[in-house]
Amino acid sequence: DAKTTQPPSMDCAEGRAANLPCNHSTISGNEYVYWYRQIHSQGPQYIIHGLKNNETNEMASLIITEDRKSSTLILPHATLRDTAVYYCIVRVDLSGTYKYIFGTGTRLKVLA
Amino acid sequence: DAGVIQSPRHEVTEMGQEVTLRCKPISGHDYLFWYRQTMMRGLELLIYFNNNVPIDDSGMPEDRFSAKMPNASFSTLKIQPSEPRDSAVYFCASSLFARDGYTFGSGTRLTVV
């Protein structure tokens, strides 16, 4: 199973870009990288996913290195409401079944 | 759309009792997932369904746990008999396609005393 490594915690000033790194050095060619976040006591919220190319949506940007061994989630203008645990996940495809393996994530604190 | 709806939000039960958690996925979503979250083990996938059929239940911890999806709009996760170590937040999630992001419900916080 491809696993991910994330820093346990990060701080970011409100209004600044938050750059959350993720290492997935054992990723295989057909495995997607997903990002979710979980605000205290709520269900995880899907943010973005990608395979090879960089992706952007209304919430964030995802930058994947060319060798696909790492990625960065960018929240361009962090707000206090972005304080959450952010999970980087590599989805494992096993003979037609699909699994997310959630790690421990990065606890992002946005500071006023 | 109301999103993924789980009930109850909180459940407190005595050890040995049967517990049933309920989930209504987003209409039209073909995939439904049950997760459990604890401080010790984080988020764990218990089971998932595709078109109402269980595809992978390898995460179900023991025979005390069972899940059903009798139709496309309803799923249950049952624990019988319940034990204190089953105390956790149980999340249900659904998605339209396998590679889509999942929409999670608000969870059911289960406490077994």
Could you tell me which chain B residue has the CA closest to the CA of A91? B99
pLDDT at res. A100? 78
Return d(Cα A56, Cα A44) in angstroms, integer.
19
- Is-contact A111 A10, C-beta < 8 A? no
Average pLDDT over residues A40-67: 94
pLDDT at res. A81? 95
A56 vs A28, higher pLDDT: A56
Q: Which of A32, A47, A102 lies closest to B99 in CB terms?
A: A32
Residues of chain B whose pLDDT is less than 50? none
pLDDT at res. B20? 98
Q: Decide if A45 and B104 are in contact by the 8 Å CB cutoff.
A: yes
Tell me whether A57 touches chain B (CB under 8 Å): no
| SS3 assignment for A4-29 | CECCCEEEEECCCCEEEEEECCCCCC
Residue A58: HSE in the Cβ half-sphere, 13 Å Cα cutoff: 0
A67 vs A91, higher pLDDT: A67
pLDDT at res. B9? 97
- Is-contact B103 B94, C-beta < 8 A? yes
Q: How far apart are the first and last CA of chain B?
A: 36
DSSP B25: P
Q: Decide if A44 and B91 are in contact by the 8 Å CB cutoff.
A: yes
The mean pLDDT value of chain A amounts to 91
**Both tokens assigned to A50:** 């990608």
- Is-contact A105 A38, C-beta < 8 A? yes
**Both tokens assigned to A8:** 């346990």
- Confidence check: pLDDT of A1 > 60: no
B47 vs A3, higher pLDDT: B47
pLDDT at res. B62? 87
20-79 in chain B: CB under 8 A from chain A: 42-45, 48, 55-56
pLDDT at res. A30? 81
Return d(Cα A64, Cα A55) in angstroms, integer.
9
